[in-house]
Amino acid sequence: MVDGKIIDSKHTLFQMILLLLIVSIPMHFYITSELENAKYKDKTELEDYAKQVANRIYLFSNSNDTEFYFPRSNLYKSAIYSADGKKIFSLLSKEINPKYIDYTDIAGNRFLKTTLKPNVFDAKYLIVQKKISYYKLIVNVITILIVVAILVFFVLFSIIKQSALPYKKLNQYLEDFIKDAMHELKTPMGVILLNLDSLSAIYENNKMILRAKSALKNMIVIYEDLEFFVKNKKVAHNKIDINLSKYVCERVEFFSDLLLSKEIKVEKDIEEGIYIKFNKLELARVIDNTISNAIKYSKEKTRIGIKLYREGSKVYLKISDQGRGIADTKKIFKRYYREDKISGGFGLGLSIVKNICEKNSVQIIVNSSIGKGSDFEYIL
C-alpha cells in the first residue's frame, strides 16, 4: 500500500528554503530602509525642536525678563553647554561631551548638536535628545511576517496537495486492485480447500495432499491479514464474550495439516472456562499469526507449547516454539519487516498483531534465543 500523505520531502524542503530566501531578502532591504527613514525623520524632528529651543533662548536674550523657563517636552530633552564644553543647564538623561556629538545614537537615544548664536547664557552648543523607538517598525514587520506566513502556508499546502495527488490516486488504485484480487481469490481458495479435505478423507495422511493443504492454510493466513489490513479502518470491530479456552483449541485445529506436514507436536496446557471480551476477528489475527509463525520457523519433528491460564484479573496466553529464534525482537513488529526474506509473506502479520494489542491494552512479551526458539506471551 502507498500512503497518500507521502510526498517528495527533498523537493518540498528545497521549495521551503527557496520561499524563505525570497521572503528574507526583501525583508532585509525593507528593515534597512525603514531604519534609515526613521533616522532621517528623527533628525528632522530634532532639528525642528532645536530651533524652537534656540528661538526661546534668543527671545529671552533680547528681552528684559529676569526669569527663563527652559523648554520641556515629553518627547525631547535638551541641554546647553559653553564653548569649552561645560554644562550650563541640562535635562538630558545621559550626560555627554558636546565636542564629540553631531548626530549620534547613544544607548537607545538620538542626540543632535546645534551651534547657538551669541546669547545671554553664553551658551555655545544646544544638545537635543530623543528616545529611539522601533515600535512602529516592529508592528509593521510582524504584520508583514504574518501575511507572508499565511501566504507561505497556502502555497505549501497547495504544493503538498498537488504532490500528494498522484500518490492518492496510486493508493486508491492499489486498494481497488487488492480488493478485487481478494474477492477473486476467496472463492477458488475455498473450492481448493473443500476438495483437499475430500481427498484427505479418501487418502489419509497422504504427504502430497498434506503439503498442498499446508500451503493453502499459509495462503489463507496471508489472505486474512491482507483483508484485515485493508478493511481495518472501515469496519467496526465489536467485542463479544469469547470462550478463549475453546477458541485457542479451534485455532490450533485449523493448523493441524501444517503441523502434521512438518510432524510438529503441540503440547497444550489450557485452563478450561476462561472467557474474555474481545473482537473475534482481531483475536483470530493475534492467535493465527503467532501459531503460523511458530510453525513456519520451526524445524520438522519439534514441539510447540501453548499455555493458557488466569491469574487474578489477568489472562496469560503463551505460545512457544523450538525454531530458529529471532535476531532482533524490536524490529519484528514493524510493518513490512521480515526476518526471513525467503519464507514469503508481506511482513504485515506481527504489525497487525501489535496494533490490535495496543488497541485492546494487551501486553506483549517476546523472549527469543537464536537456535533455540521463541516465546510469545500475551497478557490480557
pLDDT digits (tens, 9 = 90+) for 216-257: 777 777 777 777 777 666 656 688 899 999 999 988 888 888
Q: Is 215 part of any domain?
A: no
pLDDT reported for residue 235: 59
- Same domain for 247 and 372, yes or no, is yes
pLDDT reported for residue 23: 73
Domain stops at, among 112, 136, 160: 136
Q: Is 160 part of any domain?
A: no
d(C-alpha 340, C-alpha 162), whole Å: 38
Q: What is the DSSP letter of 342?
A: S
- Same domain for 121 and 246, yes or no, is no
What cell was used for 81?
Answer: 553647554
Residues with pLDDT less than 70, the chain: 1-13, 15, 174-175, 177-187, 231-237, 335-347
Q: Is 269 part of any domain?
A: yes
pLDDT reported for residue 223: 75
Domain stops at, among 136, 156, 190: 136
pLDDT reported for residue 296: 86
Sequence-ordered strand ranges (E) for the chain: 76-81, 87-90, 103-106, 109-115, 125-131, 240-243, 265-270, 275-278, 303-311, 314-321, 363-369, 373-379
Q: Is 275 part of any domain?
A: yes
d(C-alpha 362, C-alpha 176), whole Å: 32
What cell was used for 171?
Answer: 493508493
pLDDT reported for residue 4: 41
Q: Are 244 and 317 in contact (CB under 8 A)?
A: yes
pLDDT reported for residue 183: 59
Q: Is 276 part of any domain?
A: yes
d(C-alpha 316, C-alpha 330), whole Å: 21
Question: What is the distance, to the nearest Å, from the Cα of residue 347 to the centroid of all Cα atoms in its chain?
Answer: 24
Q: Is 185 part of any domain?
A: no
Which CATH number is 333's domain given? 3.30.565.10
119 Ramachandran zone, left/alpha/beta (phi>0; psi -120 to 50): beta
pLDDT reported for residue 164: 74
Q: Is 248 part of any domain?
A: yes
How many domains does the structure of the chain reveal?
A: 2
pLDDT reported for residue 184: 65
Supply the range of the domain harboring residue 316: 239-379
d(C-alpha 210, C-alpha 260), whole Å: 7
Question: What would the pLDDT profile of 319-354 be if each residue is shown by its tens digit?
Answer: 999 888 887 777 887 766 665 554 555 567 788 889
170-194 exposure pattern, b = at least 16 Cβ within 10 A, e = fewer: ebeeeeeeeeeebeeeeeeeeebbe
pLDDT reported for residue 212: 80
The overall pTM is greater than 0.85: no
pLDDT reported for residue 316: 94
pLDDT reported for residue 2: 41
What cell was used for 134?
Answer: 522601533
Domain stops at, among 136, 152, 167: 136
Q: Is 46 part of any domain?
A: yes
